[in-house]
Structure 1
Amino acid sequence: MDENSPVFAIAMAAELAEMHPQTLRQYDRLGLVSPQRTAGKSRRYSLRDIAQLREVARLSAEGISLEGIRRIIDLENQVTGLQARVRELETALSDELLNRPGSRVFAAGSAGDVVSMRHGTRTQRRTEIVVWRPTPR
């Protein structure tokens, strides 16, 4: 089952999140956790929604206001979207490099500018520190 599939009715979602159904309705009105709706307008929660409800409860127990929690969730969702976009761009770049071997090669100059290089050449070794963090897969 996909974590984004809206399968749980409000009673089951409330039980899984260990909350009262009215709390889920309140969080929906506030925009903290907005489940998908069926054609009859009833709420359907996904596993991701339930995890988000648990996160709201945890943050609330730590004393963070509901508005602060909403902002945190918005930022986390934005980061998730940006990470997906980066993976998409990395895939597109990788596909392009595989489909066009011998094409132009680029490197970053010392001032952060883009430098075009011939295929098969290397940049001069420098003494600058390079910070690199592999992307999780």
Structure 2
Amino acid sequence: MHDQNRAVYVISVAAELAGVHPQTLRIYERKGLVAPARTGGGSRRYSRSDIDQLLRIQELTNEGLNLLGVQRVLQLENDLANARAELETQRQESLRKIEALRQEAEGHLRAQRRDLVPLRQEVVLYRDVRPGSTRRG
């Protein structure tokens, strides 16, 4: 499986994959829309994630957004993804806590059942002991 974040594409290949001119990629970088890795010599290297980001930028600009609008949309999408991840983390933690409480409650219930003493029932015949009553028995 190819690592999505491994920066392997030079600027000309990244531009071709994204369907834009290399100069456009330099503009996007200056505007903070994409942040390619740099080699020791300073050359840009783009990852598959960067290419996906470039395609998203192209999609938004083709819909009529300017680069400031694209930047805002990308930030909102990132914020939403982070909020969803946090919500999922909290949901998982809540489920763990609920399960722990359920197990604790079951333990208490088992302990209470062990403490119960069986009731021994005997049959008692009723006798009417009032004066003048007929005694049966």
Normalised to the residue count of structure 2, the TM-score between the two structures is 0.64
What is the deviation of 1:59? 1.8
- Name the residue aligned to 1:45: 46
What SS class does the counterpart of residue 101 from structure 1 fall into?
helix
| 1:13-40, Cα deviation, whole Å (9 max, x unpaired) | 1111111111111100001122233344
- Name the residue aligned to 1:30: 31
Aligned partner letter, 1:44: R
Which structure has the greater CA radius of gyration? 2
- Name the residue aligned to 1:82: 83
Question: Which structure shows the bigger proportion of residues in strand conformation?
Answer: 1
Measure, in 1, the Cα distance between the counterparts of 2:7 and 2:97: 36
Matches within 5 A, 1:100-119: 100-102=101-103
Which range moved further: 74-83 or 95-104? Answer: 95-104
Against the structure 1 CA distance between its residues 82 and 65, is the aligned structure 2 distance closer, same or farther, given a 3 Å change threshold?
Answer: same
What is the deviation of 1:56? 1.4
* Runs of at least 5 residues in structure 2 that lack an aligned partner in the other structure: 110-137
Measure, in 2, the Cα distance between the counterparts of 1:95 and 1:27: 43
Taking only aligned residues, the RMSD between alpha carbons, in angstroms, comes to 2.4
Measure, in 2, the Cα distance between the counterparts of 1:77 and 1:42: 27
Aligned partner letter, 1:51: D
- Identical aligned pairs, as a percentage? 41
Q: Does 1:20 align with 2:24?
A: no
Question: Which structure shows the bigger proportion of residues in helix conformation?
Answer: 2
- Name the residue aligned to 1:134: none
Matches within 5 A, 1:49-68: 49-68=50-69
Q: Does 1:8 align with 2:47?
A: no
Aligned partner letter, 1:84: A
* Runs of at least 5 residues in structure 1 that lack an aligned partner in the other structure: 105-118, 120-137
What SS class does the counterpart of residue 63 from structure 1 fall into?
coil
Measure, in 1, the Cα distance between the counterparts of 2:23 and 2:95: 48
| 1:66-125, Cα deviation, whole Å (9 max, x unpaired) | 111111111111111121222222223333334453458xxxxxxxxxxxxxx9xxxxxx
Measure, in 1, the Cα distance between the counterparts of 2:67 and 2:17: 21
Residues paired across the two proteins, number: 105
